[in-house]
Structure 1
């Protein structure tokens, strides 16, 4: 939803949603499943025995087995108990699937994509089981007003557990969708919003009924944490992260999501760190970009405030940078650099609401693409990253240009292309209109359009590049390949830019730049960090 913004009324306030609505019923969709494609029907004892004796399963087996739970004859309470047993098994299977991702280069191998898609279907089936239980239990909430307080307490506890299970597995399904770089299915965000609101409704009617709601309240806090985590995932531009980063991203969400707040009584608004959440929408939220409009009059809106979260991440980035670049060892691992770059991007997405400034224009044409710092160096050869002769495009490395701007290209490639890349990789592009010129870019995002085609967005770092040798230690003869870039306004003007392998940059580091002439230089700022390279600016010392 990048580029959309919420307009907040001049009063700057949001009324608390009145969810104690006696006409409120869950609006959820439960898919139907072909009974013939499930494993043979089983009894509760058989399923219980199977659950307690199975540690992990292949995804197709697990998918068929989970469908049994739609057909087993049991009460809602028994179904919830059975479903609770599945979570460790599903967690083990998910771990095994993600272990097959390896380097995560796109396009993903067919078997990896098949496993991720299958895992997503299992999460969807589990969510359906919980959603069906919610609807079954919900019909009894207001009908059985004369039930004993004990009966109503059990009913409310079962409902809140069903809400937790449903939102937990919808969140799991979302993660697999983003890991597979697929579009989100219609309705998933609407249901996530609705289940969260319905759980608030259950909490409120429990309070109003005089039920000791401690267990219900504890479960609601878990639901709210998953809801916040899901909103933050949807707002962080997940297609802009390499698939191997999703584990670290998930840990970051678990660790920090509690710092953001969902507000319904906002006195004043800011154009940073605030997102408008529309519970009737089918998207996570939109940034608050202005103070005009009249959203404040509707009960269906709330505001996600990320200020405390962004401030905590800024402090973490400062601490990591100080330890890496100014500490006694001044040594930073590639993993730490990637985490540092991820935090910087999260701060941007959750705090500053970046909006595209340049317009892309449709463009027909083909280009050749080579991805990866070391692969580009091998491909280019010589001193200049400029083709000496106009060789024809290599069909196995070809992509279709979808659109272009001064900032970069959007390209589409077949999944059997020899060009394989990670988000954050350097990519060299040779346009068929300029066969004698290679442009250097970074892969910003990717998403499948169909099973056989994937699109990628690139940010141009330079229309021209020159290759140099860099002597890192003045007392050593060892040198490495680096590149300088020019011909673009996408970096700060007046800066001397170098593209270097990861792990080279240290602020203030003095090195020797060797080309036609040799120059002693000092490294200044880290401008950008890719998956296997850094962009730095430097100053000449002689």
Structure 2
């Protein structure tokens, strides 16, 4: 987890995020005596020179050319010290901007290459990757601080001829703050105190001077050559209302790369209107919220965010057949998959309302993670092959001699070295070798007698639809948003099926996650894909019951691959094999698909299953 202690400026005073709203409103209304930038966190320069370079672009370029790019640690150290000194340097805004522009790509180079140390790791980071993540946060915060100093210097005495300088500093400051915001989301950590308030303030300054839509050249952009202050601000706002805690870490990074291309489709509305799905109070250190969560009294000072055009563009793209999606009016960068687009279309397209009220909880739940573990425990800790009642694949191999060409008129039949008989009994004596079965050779049918780990988690709160659970110890690496889990209460009566909806790290320490119940129980089974030449192996699947009260048909939870809509499959339940077809895919996540299915024929018992005397009544139990 990142260090979430309050950030301090170089003077040593912690930033007070809870600035009074009436003060901010007064500042915004009296632009002739502009004081709003003074609330930005930036030190007052006190030094007249730099120790590592002369304070001019030519000398700084020479210093940058000598940075050891092959040694990221040393390069990061030098950049960190250089930025710290630069933020203490007394220099004109024009010169400061030139120096920062030279350092900026180097900072992003280092941060990008250091990500491998803390991304795609366990959710709770060990000490070393946590320090690397904090270093990246600090580098980009120091870079943003330099641009904020320019804003502080220029805003009170702004003139038209400074428009290029001022708009660049505003855009760069927002872009610099977006980095720590995105990284906090990737690590499921709280955003640092004051960051949202600074983002809001910088945009309000740009809007006050009519610079918010001025195009600014952006060499670090992925999909365009220019980004305005408003577009850069919208990137942050979209990150704030994308429900990133419900997304996988990799997808959060992909989303961040795509947002600059999508930001022109989002409208910021002042004053807020009925078409604003989200809104924010620029005087408060908070991300956007649904507009309906604000009171009427708050409306006059709200900034509205209309995301409907973007959500509609995503929905139109998803409605196209696969072969018609390229080219698309909506730019879909590489790596943006259908699951992520569906998530974003929902997040930006309508208000999410909680179905059930939460109740504070107590006690613990036992939890297992992943399809393999869930299948194992739902099946009563039986091995997969035992559950399917399949013949063991590990019996000793049996060999016999087979004549390659046994024709009556074989011209070689009379050769002296071929007339030894037609069976292995005529061979020379040999030693039988029995090769033991290796369980790892066949994961889908492995006995898996080893037990899967379970975890006892404290209940923070609960509702009929799910739980908020707290991890008190180390979080396993396989835990991800969208992962299947099984839960069992203290009574130990059966396992319920759930999915991890969100993950977050709390400031008080520890990790919390929200899980949504999918079904109170499931039927463990195996499913294989029927092919013309050879069927696939059986893979672990779970059959979920029909919920008639909610008009939900029976479904099956299956691995992401190889199963798709329209596939013909064989389902094995306790040794009974039945043909079926997969139809509507209701849910798709990074770890599983949920399909509706239709059975074709009556159960076909495998050779290992014997008829039961009460079998004739099986169809009766469900109707009584």
Q: TM-score range by the shorter chain?
A: 0.7 to 0.9
Structural mapping, 1:163-178, within 5 Å? 163-178=170-185
Query: Considering only aligned residues, what root-mean-square deviation do their CA atoms show, in Å?
Result: 3.8
The corresponding residue for 1:323 is 322
Structure 1 residues 24-47: Cα deviation after superposition (integer angstroms, max 9, x where no partner) = 4334332559999xx956532554
Shift of 1:19: 7.4
Given the alignment, which residue of 531, 539, 542 partners 1:483?
542
Whole-angstrom CA distance in 2 between matches of 1:378 and 1:500? 14
Going from structure 1 to structure 2, the CA distance change for 1:216 and 1:199 (only over 3 Å counts) comes to farther
- Please give the secondary structure, in 2, of the residue aligned with 1:468: strand
Structure 1 residues 324-351: Cα deviation after superposition (integer angstroms, max 9, x where no partner) = 8x99xxxxxxx99972111111111111
Contact 1:462-1:488 at 8 Å conserved across structures = no
Contact 1:262-1:305 at 8 Å conserved across structures = yes
Going from structure 1 to structure 2, the CA distance change for 1:89 and 1:408 (only over 3 Å counts) comes to same
Structural mapping, 1:380-419, within 5 Å? 381-382=381-382, 397-418=455-476
Contact 1:505-1:526 at 8 Å conserved across structures = no
Whole-angstrom CA distance in 1 between matches of 2:529 and 2:171? 54
Given the alignment, which residue of 156, 178, 188 partners 1:181?
188
The corresponding residue for 2:564 is 506
The structure with the greater share of residues assigned to strand is 1
- Does residue 66 of structure 2 align to residue 53 of structure 1? yes
- Does residue 36 of structure 2 align to residue 26 of structure 1? yes
Given the alignment, which residue of 95, 111, 131 partners 1:78?
95
Whole-angstrom CA distance in 1 between matches of 2:566 and 2:453? 44
Structure 1 residues 422-448: Cα deviation after superposition (integer angstroms, max 9, x where no partner) = 1111112233x1324222211111111
- Please give the secondary structure, in 2, of the residue aligned with 1:155: helix
Shift of 1:499: 0.7
- Does residue 309 of structure 2 align to residue 303 of structure 1? no
Shift of 1:293: 3.3
Whole-angstrom CA distance in 2 between matches of 1:31 and 1:307? 37
Whole-angstrom CA distance in 1 between matches of 2:363 and 2:553? 32
The corresponding residue for 1:462 is 519
Structure 1 residues 241-279: Cα deviation after superposition (integer angstroms, max 9, x where no partner) = 11121221112212211111123367x724xx6222322
The corresponding residue for 2:581 is 522
Whole-angstrom CA distance in 1 between matches of 2:335 and 2:115? 22
Whole-angstrom CA distance in 1 between matches of 2:185 and 2:542? 33
The corresponding residue for 1:11 is none
The corresponding residue for 1:497 is 555
- Please give the secondary structure, in 1, of the residue aligned with 2:541: strand
Given the alignment, which residue of 55, 68, 73 partners 1:44?
55
- Please give the secondary structure, in 2, of the residue aligned with 1:351: coil
- Does residue 598 of structure 2 align to residue 539 of structure 1? yes
The corresponding residue for 1:99 is 116
Given the alignment, which residue of 244, 253, 263 partners 1:238?
244
Whole-angstrom CA distance in 2 between matches of 1:417 and 1:457? 14
- Does residue 436 of structure 2 align to residue 435 of structure 1? no
- Please give the secondary structure, in 1, of the residue aligned with 2:337: helix
The structure with the greater share of residues assigned to helix is 1
- Does residue 364 of structure 2 align to residue 357 of structure 1? no
Going from structure 1 to structure 2, the CA distance change for 1:415 and 1:316 (only over 3 Å counts) comes to farther
Going from structure 1 to structure 2, the CA distance change for 1:122 and 1:336 (only over 3 Å counts) comes to closer
- Please give the secondary structure, in 1, of the residue aligned with 2:292: strand
Contact 1:160-1:216 at 8 Å conserved across structures = no
Contact 2:215-2:226 at 8 Å conserved across structures = no
- Please give the secondary structure, in 2, of the residue aligned with 1:370: strand
Contact 1:276-1:303 at 8 Å conserved across structures = yes
Structure of greater relative contact order (alpha carbons < 8 Å, 6+ residues apart): 1
The corresponding residue for 2:267 is 261
Going from structure 1 to structure 2, the CA distance change for 1:337 and 1:41 (only over 3 Å counts) comes to closer
- Please give the secondary structure, in 1, of the residue aligned with 2:32: coil
The corresponding residue for 2:210 is 203
Shift of 1:529: 1.6
Q: Figure out how many residues of one structure are paired with residues of the other and give that number.
A: 485
Whole-angstrom CA distance in 2 between matches of 1:279 and 1:438? 46
Going from structure 1 to structure 2, the CA distance change for 1:370 and 1:41 (only over 3 Å counts) comes to same
Whole-angstrom CA distance in 1 between matches of 2:382 and 2:146? 61
Structure 1 residues 61-114: Cα deviation after superposition (integer angstroms, max 9, x where no partner) = 543332121123422211111111122111211211223346444234443333
Contact 2:44-2:88 at 8 Å conserved across structures = no
The normalised TM-score by structure 1 is 0.79
Going from structure 1 to structure 2, the CA distance change for 1:456 and 1:81 (only over 3 Å counts) comes to same
The corresponding residue for 1:224 is 230
Contact 1:497-1:537 at 8 Å conserved across structures = yes
Contact 2:122-2:477 at 8 Å conserved across structures = no
Contact 1:117-1:176 at 8 Å conserved across structures = no
Whole-angstrom CA distance in 1 between matches of 2:306 and 2:496? 40
Q: Which runs of 5+ in 1 are unaligned?
A: 1-17, 142-151, 208-212, 328-334, 387-392
- Please give the secondary structure, in 1, of the residue aligned with 2:540: strand
Structure 1 residues 449-481: Cα deviation after superposition (integer angstroms, max 9, x where no partner) = 258511111111122122111121154343211
Structure 1 residues 114-138: Cα deviation after superposition (integer angstroms, max 9, x where no partner) = 3222211222222222212211222
